[in-house]
Amino acid sequence: MSSTGASNPSLAAQVSKAVVWNTVFVPLRMAAEVLATIVKLNFLTQAGYGLLALISGANNGLGTVVDMGTARALPKYIPEISRLGGPRAVLRLLTAVFALQMVVLAVLATGLATLYREPYLDALRRRVLEDPQLSPADQAGLLGLLGASGWLVIGAIVALLFLGVCYDMFMAYLNSFFKQRAWNSIALAAGLLPQLFSVAAILLLPDGWDIIGVLVASVLAPAIAVALAGWQVARLWLEQRTWALEPAAPTPVSGVPWLPPGFVPYTGVSFLMTLTDFLASASFAIYLAGGVSDAAVLMAGAALARMALSYLYTPMVGVQVPLFTRVRQGEGGTLNGAYQSLVRLQLLLFVPGGVGLMLLAEPALVVVGPQYLAAATIVWVLVPCLFLESLLTTAHNALIVYERLGTIIVSRLITLLVVAPLAWLLPPRYGLVGVALAFGLARVAAGLWVTGSGVRLIGLRWPWRFTGRVLGASALLALALLGVRGLLPPLPDVVTLADRLREAAWLLGLALVGAVTFFAALRLLGGLEEQDRAQLARLRLPLKRWWLRVL
């Protein structure tokens, strides 16, 4: 891609614009995540929520097989193919990948609809029958649903697998060219629409049809998101064809293959990454949790931790792999400079955010769903593991772009070697906390390996000085929250809506106290690095001068 024309912007301009749009959409995406959690935890019974979590886990597992690692590979190869062969070469690549995925999906859908339909439904029935916490009415309702509407469960899984293929492909295309405004708009719709449709189904359908309504909503909403993403991709592709006609644009190389060199082994490693991510996730761990009620509690805690992590990670969505790819292609910047900038930004967000979430987990659960207060222990376990793993994943993304595939394979084998014995040893002794520890520690172990390998193989350097500042400021934040949290009034035995609104107000106040304490302490300890301040000064942000004074 040319960097000279106004219609084809430079790498620095694209990255800066992507970060800005990601940040602008933070409040909207956070609102969507909060709404999603509140709706699921409050409008569905705990048994129904647990059953839907088990169905979602099966869909995620099968989706991992259908994906074949392409969702991770495409953001790397789309820019390379576009630079060599132009939009038509990219279209050939996407067509080949889509055709292969459809073959795999057809095989899985046929098997699920015929040979494995009843065994799968029987496994769900056993989860219901073996749950001692379910009332007879809830148990009878779930068994009746699985008996009368089992075909709908299978159909929803197959439909979601197809829509997932389309969605991941379209979003990978938008990510590859830093179209964060469109990406975030569609991601917001994909996160918000299922919840709006679910609420409508629960309120409008007769009693007993809520789970069916949610299943239908879970298919209809992604279909709309896929349509929106396809429209944006079509617009971008036509725009890129116009770029290709400009005099300053590079001439496409003829004879570019449908699948570029290295795509198959890279995709194979990406598939191993996706598979181990699933095996070390809550979607798989719920099958170790016992009945549907335990699955519901585990997913409630994991949902709160993931919601906060997703919110904090928003500025970097879709930036890391395309950025490292373009740095490797010589389009600007250095590898270590890009790596350290990303890590410093994540430290600034993840460390104080994680500390605050752990200290405020109980009031947060009271607000979103007081019946899930027991999930606070899950949050205390998962936040350190998942937040640290996200920090360490930056080196992982650099290694995968620089095609250190052997190192990536070893890291994923470490995940399997850690999660297998922990999943066998910890849950019988520690229950749900042991389940959370099993997959959380496995993710951290793999992250430590890839970060150490990044230092050794490609010269990455961790920003230790800035890490010390953030840890010091976060320690003061924790002391401030612990002191103020003691002022919270005790909760009554029966939590009402007024109690939840009061807790929400207290929670916002505590979050404000924590944020002020952290930024003041960070400023006293030295604030941002000079290069980060210079980059912030170049961005077009609201209240930029205020942020520069604070940081």
What confidence tens digit (pLDDT) does each residue in 498-551 have? Answer: 777 777 888 888 889 998 999 899 989 988 777 766 665 555 544 556 555 656
* Confidence category of residue 246, pLDDT binned at 50, 70, 90: very low
* Stronger pLDDT, 399 or 244, i.e. the higher one: 399
Q: What is the pTM of this model?
A: 0.74
Does position 486 have pLDDT exceeding 80, yes or no?
no
Distances (CA, A) of 18 to 12, 130, 177, 183, 343: 10, 49, 9, 10, 17
Residue 9 pLDDT > 60: no
CB-based contact 419:440 (threshold 8 Å): no
Query: What pLDDT band is residue 467 in, cutting at 50, 70 and 90?
Result: very high
* Cα 442 to Cα 529: distance, rounded to the nearest angstrom: 32
Q: Is residue 285 part of a domain?
A: no
For residue 179, what pLDDT is reported? Answer: 66
Question: Which of 279, 302, 321 is the C-terminal boundary of a domain?
Answer: 279
The pLDDT value recorded for residue 523 is: 87
Which of 475, 468, 462, 463 minimizes the C-alpha distance to 525?
A: 468
- Identify whether 374 is part of a domain: yes
Identify whether the C-beta of residue 83 lies closer than 8 Å to the C-beta of residue 1: yes
Scan for tokens 């993931």, then name that residue. 306
Token code pair at residue 121: 């439904």
Average of per-residue pLDDT across 144-155? 86
Q: Do both 206 and 334 map to the same domain?
A: no
What's the CA gap between 3 and 8, in Å, rounded? 6
Q: Using 50, 70 and 90 to split pLDDT, how confident is the model at 3?
A: very low
Helix (H, G, I), strand (E, B) or coil at 197: helix
**Residue 395: both structure tokens together:** 């080196």
Per-residue pLDDT, 355: 95
The answer to whether 368 and 37 have CB atoms below 8 angstroms apart is yes
Q: Which residue has the higher pLDDT, 131 or 37?
A: 131
Which has the higher per-residue pLDDT, 415 or 185? 415
3 state SS of 41: helix
One domain, residues 300 and 168: no
- Percentage, residues of the chain above pLDDT 70: 82
Euclidean distance between CA atoms 355 and 366, whole angstroms = 18
The total of structural domains in the chain comes to 2
DSSP 371: G
- Reported as a single tens digit per residue, the pLDDT across 349-390 is 899 999 999 999 988 888 777 788 889 999 999 999 999 999
C-alpha torsion sign, points 41, 47, 52, 55: positive
> Looking at 279, 310, 340, which one is the last position of a domain?
279
- The answer to the question of residue 219 being in a domain is yes
Residues 372, 479 within the same domain: yes
Torsional class of 178: left (φ above 0), alpha (ψ -120 to 50), beta (otherwise): left
| 263 and 122 both lie in a single domain | yes
- Do 254 and 394 fall into the same domain? no
Contacts of 111 (CB under 8 A, 6+ apart): none
Side chain identity at residue 60, one-letter code: N
Q: Within a domain: residue 506?
A: yes
| pLDDT the model gives residue 5 | 40
- Residue 246, both tokens: 């400009």
- Domain membership of residue 460 as a residue range: 292-551
Task: Establish if 9 belongs to a structural domain.
Answer: no
Q: Indicate if the pLDDT at residue 1 is higher than 50.
A: no
Kindly state the tokens that stand for 318.
């879709």
Pair 32, 280: CB distance under 8 Å = no
Between 455 and 185, the higher pLDDT residue: 455
Mean pLDDT comparison of 24-33, 289-298, 428-437, 540-549, highest-scoring range:
428-437
Do 356 and 251 belong together in one domain? no
**φ, ψ for residue 192, nearest 5 deg:** -90, -40
Q: Which residue has the tokens 């906060």?
A: 308
Q: What was the pLDDT predicted at 452?
A: 94
Does 324 lie in the same domain as 397? Answer: yes
Q: What does the pLDDT read at residue 318?
A: 63
Least confident range from 19-28, 255-264, 376-385: namely 19-28
| Average pLDDT over every residue of 480-495 | 77
Is the pLDDT at 344 greater than 70? The verdict is yes
Q: Where does residue 481 rank: exposed (0-12), middle (13-18), buried (19+ CB within 10 A)?
A: buried
Count of residues in the chain:
551
Q: Is the pLDDT of residue 478 over 50?
A: yes
On whether residue 287 sits in a domain, the answer given is no
Shared domain for 275 and 302, answered yes or no, is no
Q: What local confidence, expressed as pLDDT, does residue 249 receive?
A: 45
Closest to 435 measured CA to CA, from 301, 305, 288: 288
Contacts for 355 with CB less than 8 Å, ≥ 6 apart: 474, 477, 478, 481
Cα-atom radius of gyration of the chain, to the nearest Å? 24
Is residue 468 over pLDDT 70?
yes
The string of pLDDT tens digits covering residues 166-219 is 998 888 888 776 665 676 678 777 777 877 787 777 777 766 677 888 888 889
Own/partner long-range contacts of 187-192 (Cβ < 8 Å, ≥24 apart):
187/25, 187/29, 187/317, 188/25, 188/28, 188/29, 188/32, 189/221, 189/224, 189/225, 189/228, 190/221, 190/222, 190/225, 191/29, 191/32, 191/33, 191/36, 192/32, 192/35, 192/36
pLDDT mean across residues, the chain: 81
Q: Is 214 inside any structural domain? A: yes
Specify if 424 maps to a domain: yes
Q: What is the pLDDT of residues 264-320, one digit of tens each?
A: 888 888 888 888 888 888 888 888 877 788 888 898 899 889 888 887 887 666 677
d(CA 238, CA 236): 5
150-176 and 70-113 are packed helices; what angle lies between their axes, rounded to 10 degrees?
A: 160
Domain boundary among 248, 279, 310: 279
Rounded to 10 degrees, what is the CA torsion of 300, 306, 310, 313?
A: 150
Whether 413 and 465 share a structural domain: yes
Asked if residue 70 lies in contact with residue 170, where contact means CB atoms within 8 angstroms, the answer is no
Instruction: Please give the C-alpha separations between residue 208 and each of 8, 297, 299, in angstroms, as whole numbers.
Output: 54, 22, 22
Q: Residue 54 pLDDT > 60, yes or no? A: yes
Same domain flag for 178 and 308: no
- The answer on 148 and 115 residing in a single domain is yes
490 DSSP assignment: P
Contacts with 237 (C-beta within 8 Å, 6 or more apart), sequence order: 87, 90, 91
Task: Kindly state whether residues 269 and 298 are assigned to the same domain.
Answer: no
